[in-house]
Chain A
Amino acid sequence: MITIDDLTVSFGAVQALRSVSFVAETAKITAVLGANGAGKTTLLRTISGLKEPRSGTIRMDERNLVHMRTEDIARLGIGHVPEGRGVIGEFTVEENLRLGAMMAKVNLQQGLSEQYEQFPVLGERRRQHAAKLSGGERQMLAMARALIAKPSVLLLDEPSLGLAPLVTAQLMHTIQSLCDTSDLTVILVEQNASSALRIAHHAVVLHVGKVVANDAASVVAADENLRQYYLGLVE
């Protein structure tokens, strides 16, 4: 479980997040939605320690993550799939996965088998450089690389960006089944609100750094004002 309380993050004089508070429950998908510049990516980067907050706390269970180093936060079991996927193009698929497994106390061969089973295309391309993969395959690799370390929390930043609708639907299905079959806590940042709301249990809507909605996904999805003004979902 991730508990964010009164989190404020600034870039110089500009406040990217203003007193953001919400809880991402264990074994649930929490969607963080909002337009470009709402502060979604900054939120994930702050949870991972890539950005230092001005004030507030981020707790994983009872442990405050603020002021911890990114690599230590990762070692606590927080997997972060960054915007743009962050696969290492110069590395082969398998090297990317080996790197993901390195810090976790997991059996590498077993981890690789599990991920190749989950994403068969990665098994077929294990010796290929990641730069040669398609957008969808890269996203799968980024997910697999995070999952191979058996994280307890998964932060996904715009996983559907640049993907075809069919690939996005498959990806969302994968995220949903991961959550259903394990105790994984997922914080899913998305601009594609309709896809995210379809699988999320809970939704937080950000607007210029402030929380404007924090409720069950079904409630947010049904709120006409939110849909129209903040999520760009016009019937």
Chain B
Amino acid sequence: MDPFLTSRIVTDVLGGLTNGVIYGMVALSLVLIWRSTGVLNFAQGAMPMFATYVGFALLSYHFGYWPCVLACIIAGLLIGGLTERLLVRRLYGKPEINPIVVMVGFLIVLEAVAAAIWSSFPRSLPSPFSSIDWQLAGKPIALSPFTVYEIATGLLVMTAVAVLFRFTKLGLQLRASAVAPEVSRLLGVRVGRLLTLGWMLSTVVGVITTVLVSSNFFTGLTPQVMDGIFAFGFIAAAIGGLESPVGAIVAGILLGVVNQFVTDLVNQNAVIIIALALLIVSLMIRPSGVFTKRTERRV
């Protein structure tokens, strides 16, 4: 194969993988909340954004990057938990449109409040790793210490979530509370607490994603930093299946790679069109998602 073509393909795949991991994490956080509480959380980008602003406020007090990240995670736990307890809990059992409208409203409020407190100008966060691409045979490849940090962290988070859900007692209870809340309560599981924990966990996944995105030298932190990424994460979750964490991750990664190829072969403006076209086609063929198992449910 032509070496130029090979290098272009490798560059697109690597660049796509970096974005794809981010989309996969957003999709995963959406699926976690959907599976546990049946709420499509349109504020899933805004809540972590707010927590990231709160955590990085410590920069003013000369704290370093990692203590700020820890503060972001703690803020995410609090925001996730409080949102579930004070806002979402009142919406369970209501018509499906209610939580959607409330969470869209919450998204707007959070972005407006963040802009009022911290302004809308991009705030650059200190990056722990260089964003300058490595070179191979004198040519840059779409891989830098920062992108490796992004991909590695993303894969680590996804693996940690998978291990938590598949192999731990807590994961078993979280899954049970999501699919059979009444039966779980009859078995002594404290479902209310676990729903709160599910929101906290999902917000933390979102916070780590937002920290990765905002730490990128070329992006920075703004109140709208997650809007575009949320859209692609949402498309990935819908394609992969809102019931399937693995589907969300795989669809997110593939969407990132497809987007990169579209950007390279067509142009940046075609990316959202192709992504939406993929969504429409996948929903027409498999409305419940490509990776969702077809299961018979007894009613």
CB within 8 Å of B: which residues of A?
48, 50, 69-71, 74-75, 80, 82, 84, 86-91, 95, 98-100, 102-104, 131, 145, 149
Decide yes or no whether B298 CB sits under 8 A from chain A: yes
A101 CB, min distance to chain B CBs, angstroms? 9
CA distance A175 to B179 in the complex (A): 28
A-B contact pairs, 7 of them (CB 8 A): A48-B186, A71-B189, A71-B191, A86-B183, A88-B183, A102-B169, A149-B188
Contact for A99 among B173, B296, B298, CB less than 8 A: B173
Q: Is the CB of A100 within 8 A of B298?
A: no
B178 and chain A: residue at smallest CB distance: A90
Q: Are A131 and B186 in contact (CB under 8 A)?
A: no
Task: Please pick, from A71, A75, A89, the residue contacting B298 in the complex, using a CB distance under 8 A.
Answer: A89
Question: Are A90 and B189 in contact, CB atoms less than 8 angstroms apart?
Answer: no
Whether B60 sits at the interface, judged by CB under 8 Å, is no
Contact A71 B190 (CB under 8 A): yes
Q: Given A98-B172, A131-B295, is A71 in contact with B188 using a C-beta cutoff of 8 Å?
A: yes
Which chain B residues in 171-205 approach chain A with CB under 8 Å?
172-173, 175-176, 179-180, 182-191
Q: A99-B172, A102-B173 are contacts. A89–B187 as well, Cβ < 8 Å? A: no
Residues of A contacting B187 in the complex (Cβ-Cβ under 8 angstroms): 74, 99-100, 102-103, 145, 149
Asked if B62 CB lies within 8 Å of chain A CBs, one says no
Closest to B297 in A: A89
Having A74-B187, A99-B173, A131-B295, one finds 17 other A-B pairs with CB under 8 Å, namely A48-B186, A50-B186, A69-B185, A70-B186, A74-B185, A82-B186, A86-B180, A86-B182, A86-B186, A88-B183, A90-B175, A98-B172, A99-B176, A99-B184, A102-B172, A102-B173, A103-B189
Q: Which of B145-175 contact A (CB under 8 A)?
A: 169, 172-173, 175
Closest-by-CB residue of A relative to B182 is A50
Complex Cα distance, B60 from A123, in Å, reads 60
B185 touches A95 (CB 8 A): no
Residue of B nearest to A76 (CB): B188
- Residue of A with least CB distance to B179: A90
CB distance from B290 to the nearest CB of A (A): 19
Q: A74-B187, A95-B172, A102-B173 are in contact. Are A131 and B182 (CB under 8 A)?
A: no
Question: Which residue of the partner chain A has the closest CB to B190?
Answer: A71
Distance (Å) between the CB of A129 and the closest chain B CB? 9
Write the B288-299 contact mask toward A (1 if CB under 8 angstroms, else 0). 000000011110
Task: Out of A70, A90, A104, A149, name the residue touching B185 (CB < 8 Å).
Answer: A70
Residue from A88, A99, A100, A149 having most chain B Cβ neighbours under 10 A: A99
- The answer to whether A82 touches B297, judged by C-beta atoms less than 8 angstroms apart, is no
In the complex, which of the residues B175, B189, B190, B296 contacts A131, with contact meaning CB atoms closer than 8 Å? Answer: B296
Which residues of A sit under 8 angstroms from B190, Cβ to Cβ?
71
In the complex, chain A residues whose CB is within 8 Å of the CB of B295 = 89-90, 131
Check if A103 sits within 8 Å of B188, measured CB to CB. yes
- Asked whether, in the complex, the Cβ of A75 is within 8 Å of the Cβ of B188, the reply is yes
Q: Which A residues lie within 8 Å of B183 (CB)?
A: 82, 86-88
CA A50 to CA B186, docked complex, whole Å: 9
> Would you give the shortest CB distance from A210 to chain B, in whole angstroms?
26
Q: Which residues of A contact B175 (CB under 8 A)?
A: 90-91
Quick check: A74 and B186 within 8 Å, CB to CB? yes
Bound together, the chains give a CA A103 to CA B295 distance in angstroms of 29
Q: Chain B residues near A100: list those with CB within 8 A.
A: 187
Closest-CB distance, B31 to chain A (whole angstroms)? 14
B287 CB, nearest partner CB in chain A, Å: 19
Min CB gap A132→B, angstroms: 10
- How far, in angstroms, from A25 to B154 measured CA to CA in the complex? 57
Min Cβ gap B288→A in Å is 14
Residues in B whose Cβ lies below 8 Å from that of A88 = 176, 179-180, 183
- Give, as a whole number of angstroms, the nearest-CB distance from A163 to chain B: 15
CB-CB under 8 A from A48, the residues of chain B are 186
Chain A residues within an 8 Å CB radius of B180: 86, 88
The docked-state distance in angstroms from the alpha carbon of A61 to that of B240 is 52
The chain A residue with its CB closest to the CB of B186 is A80
Q: Tell me which residues across on chain B come within 8 A of A98, comparing CB atoms.
A: 169, 172
Of B169, B173, B180, B183, most buried by chain A (CB within 10 Å of CB) is B183
Within 8 A of A (CB), among B235-266: none
Residues of B within 8 A of A104 (CB): 188
Which residues from chain A contact B297 at a C-beta distance below 8 Å? 89
- Which chain A residue lies CB-closest to B299? A84
| Chain B 19-50 per-residue mask, 1 if CB under 8 angstroms from chain A, else 0 | 00000000000000000000000000000000
Complex CA–CA separation, A69 to B191 (angstroms): 11
**B179 and A74 contacting across the interface, CB-CB below 8 Å:** no
The listed residue with most A CB atoms (<10 A of its CB), out of B169, B175, B187, B188, is B187
